[in-house]
């Protein structure tokens, strides 16, 4: 995933927003057509599935993850 | 307390033998604290009327207020006006799947590949890792990809040994065209780097279809099982799973390079060959499923570690190869000194390393 933008807000800047956090991460708008390409209908599960970029958990530990920052 | 203090739902905490830790799972931050403050966090979590009186007995009032300020400043906790407004989320873990992920190891014998895929589909395994240990030519690689494309998985990653027969364009094409193959790792590369496969969408935020990871290290059967801060999990779902189950083996079925069904391809114990035994038979075997329930609280040394809720485990390479409850061999952390060291240079691990052929 591309890096997200970090915005730090003071609590009074947030006004009446119903959130408790002042550090907010955001990204730019994506192209809906490209985003739709990540979704596929599955007849097996009778539902739309979103393509997974990562496994639910590390499947095996063959990689030295320290070689890659923030991965 | 004028107002009620609540821990954020994304915060968990844990005590160790020497210190405690607060884990912000959203921001992936760790805050180390004295174990006496872990008791304070437990009382905050309880949110009962007597909690504050008990807290004052444990920690002097000025220290307690400093601790509350620290929690609020770091957005680990927040105040609310009324009591009982924010109940803690249940930490029990359930998943509507019997098999969570699987591994297929392939060397030169491809004969069981299709049977293995079919068995994985039958037990509704959604995430799969395929590790190809031999030098494949382009035709063999394309054949393996064509076969897997006939099945339906959610996520597949392919581990390959670098060779000159499979061009990078072909690997990129697989990620672009095979919907569930999103990560391909190439071992024995010249550099360590990750290349993202991205559709160019002009001014819009780029969407990554997957990654090709190039690794200098070689792909070895006994190269698995290294535990470090980089293998910690930050997902609340995984943390809940870790509390009651083994963080690596739970829900895992593997097929080794000879077609034997195992908990993990690196483990010696097998439960029959895939040619004659079905996954359903293996899943009904209590010995196979027993390993799924070895959580960190049952593992020697790990049970004293402050990281035990977020750490992953390995039952294939152990400090004491004869004791299934022994600490993972490839972990360099000592919870008694709170220090990380290089496990491979520890003289106390030499005997176990020689058993596993690591020296």
Choose among B141, B139, B163, B148: nearest CA to B114.
Answer: B148
| Least Cα separation, residue A17 to chain B (angstroms) | 15
| Domain assignment present for B344 | no
Which domain, by its residues, includes B271? 101-288
Which tens digit of pLDDT belongs to each residue from B309-329?
A: 999 999 999 999 999 999 999
B113 and B246 within one domain: yes
B208 and B168 within one domain: yes
Q: Which residue of B has its CA nearest to A10?
A: B73
Those residues whose C-beta lies under 8 Å from the C-beta of residue B284, and which sit 6 or more positions away, are none
B61 and B106 within one domain: no
Residue B10's CATH number: 3.90.930
B203 and B76 within one domain: no
Q: Which residue of B has its CA nearest to A24?
A: B27
Judge whether B219 is closer than 8 Å to chain A, CB to CB.
yes
B284 and B148 within one domain: yes
Which domain, by its residues, includes A25? 5-51
Give CA–CA dist B82/B96, Å, rounded.
36
The residue behind tokens 């919870």 is B335
| Domain assignment present for B336 | no
Give CA–CA dist B211/B191, Å, rounded.
15
- Residues from chain A that touch B233, judged by Cβ atoms under 8 A, are 57-58
| Domain assignment present for A58 | no
Quickly state the pLDDT bin for B3 (edges 50, 70, 90): confident
Which tens digit of pLDDT belongs to each residue from A34-43?
A: 888 889 998 8
| Domain assignment present for A64 | no
Q: Which of B27, B217, B312 sits opposite A58 (nearest CB)?
A: B312
Quickly state the pLDDT bin for B53 (edges 50, 70, 90): confident
| Domain assignment present for B302 | no
| Least Cα separation, residue B337 to chain A (angstroms) | 22
Quickly state the pLDDT bin for B163 (edges 50, 70, 90): confident
Which tens digit of pLDDT belongs to each residue from B254-311?
A: 999 999 999 999 999 999 999 999 999 999 999 999 999 999 999 999 999 999 999 9
Quickly state the pLDDT bin for A71 (edges 50, 70, 90): very low
- Residues from chain A that touch B27, judged by Cβ atoms under 8 A, are 23
Q: Which of A35, A58, A61 sits opposite B207 (nearest CB)?
A: A35
Please indicate whether, in this complex, the C-beta atoms of B127 and A40 are within 8 angstroms of each other: no
Judge whether B190 is closer than 8 Å to chain A, CB to CB.
no
| Domain assignment present for B359 | no
Between positions 264 and 283 of B, the ones with CB within 8 A of A are 264
Polymer length in residues for chain B: 359
Residue B51 has pLDDT above 50, yes or no: yes
Residue B2 has pLDDT above 70, yes or no: no
Choose among B183, B181, B178: nearest CA to B194.
Answer: B183
Q: Is residue B19 within 8 Å of B30, Cβ to Cβ? A: no
**Mean pLDDT of the B335-347 span:** 94
Total of domains in chain A:
1
Please indicate whether, in this complex, the C-beta atoms of B192 and A60 are within 8 angstroms of each other: no
Quickly state the pLDDT bin for B246 (edges 50, 70, 90): very high
Total of domains in chain B:
2
| Domain assignment present for B13 | yes
B10 and B106 within one domain: no
B195 and B136 within one domain: yes
Quickly state the pLDDT bin for B50 (edges 50, 70, 90): confident
**Mean pLDDT of the A34-63 span:** 89
**Mean pLDDT of the B161-169 span:** 89
Which tens digit of pLDDT belongs to each residue from B88-138?
A: 788 889 999 999 999 999 998 889 999 999 999 999 999 999 999 998 889
Q: Which of A30, A57, A58 sits opposite B205 (nearest CB)?
A: A30
């Amino acid at each position: 995933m591309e890096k997200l933008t970090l915005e730090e807000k003071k609590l009074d800047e947030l006004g009446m927003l119903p959130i408790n956090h002042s550090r907010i991460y955001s990204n730019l708008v994506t192209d809906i057509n490209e985003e739709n390409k990540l979704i596929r209908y599955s007849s097996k599960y009778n539902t739309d599935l979103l393509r997974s970029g990562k496994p639910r958990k590390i499947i095996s530990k063959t990689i030295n993850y320290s070689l890659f920052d923030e991965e | 307390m004028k107002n009620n203090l609540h821990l954020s739902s994304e915060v968990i905490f844990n005590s160790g033998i020497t210190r405690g830790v607060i884990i912000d799972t959203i921001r992936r931050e760790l805050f180390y604290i004295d174990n006496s403050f872990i008791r304070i966090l437990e009382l905050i979590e309880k949110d009962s009327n007597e909690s504050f009186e008990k807290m004052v007995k444990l920690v002097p009032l000025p220290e307690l207020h400093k601790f509350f300020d620290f929690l609020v400043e770091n957005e680990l906790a927040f105040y609310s006006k009324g009591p009982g407004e924010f109940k803690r989320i249940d930490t029990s873990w359930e998943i509507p799947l019997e098999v969570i992920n699987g591994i297929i190891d392939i060397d030169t014998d491809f004969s069981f590949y299709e049977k293995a895929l079919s068995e994985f589909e039958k037990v509704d395994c959604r995430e799969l890792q395929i590790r190809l240990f031999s030098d494949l030519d382009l035709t063999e690689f394309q054949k393996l990809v064509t076969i897997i494309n006939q099945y339906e998985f959610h996520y597949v990653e392919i581990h390959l040994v670098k060779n000159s027969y499979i061009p990078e364009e072909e690997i990129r094409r697989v990620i672009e065209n095979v919907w569930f193959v999103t990560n391909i790792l190439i071992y024995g590369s010249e550099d360590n780097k990750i290349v993202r496969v991205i559709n160019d969408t002009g001014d819009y935020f780029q969407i990554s279809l997957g990654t090709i990871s190039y690794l200098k290290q070689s792909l070895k059967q006994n190269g698995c099982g290294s535990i470090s801060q980089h293998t910690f999990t930050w997902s609340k779902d995984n943390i809940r799973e870790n509390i009651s189950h083994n963080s690596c083996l739970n829900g895992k079925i593997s097929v080794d390079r000879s077609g034997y069904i195992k908990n993990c391809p690196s483990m010696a114990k097998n439960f029959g060959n895939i040619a004659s035994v079905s996954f359903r038979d293996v899943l009904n075997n209590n010995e196979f499923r027993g390993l799924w329930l070895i959580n960190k609280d049952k593992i020697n040394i790990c049970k004293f570690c402050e990281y035990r809720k977020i750490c992953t485990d390995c039952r294939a390479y152990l400090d004491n190869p004869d004791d299934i409850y022994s600490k993972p061999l490839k972990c360099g952390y000592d919870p008694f000194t709170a220090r990380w060291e290089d496990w491979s240079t520890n003289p106390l691990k030499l005997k176990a390393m020689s058993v596993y052929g690591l020296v």
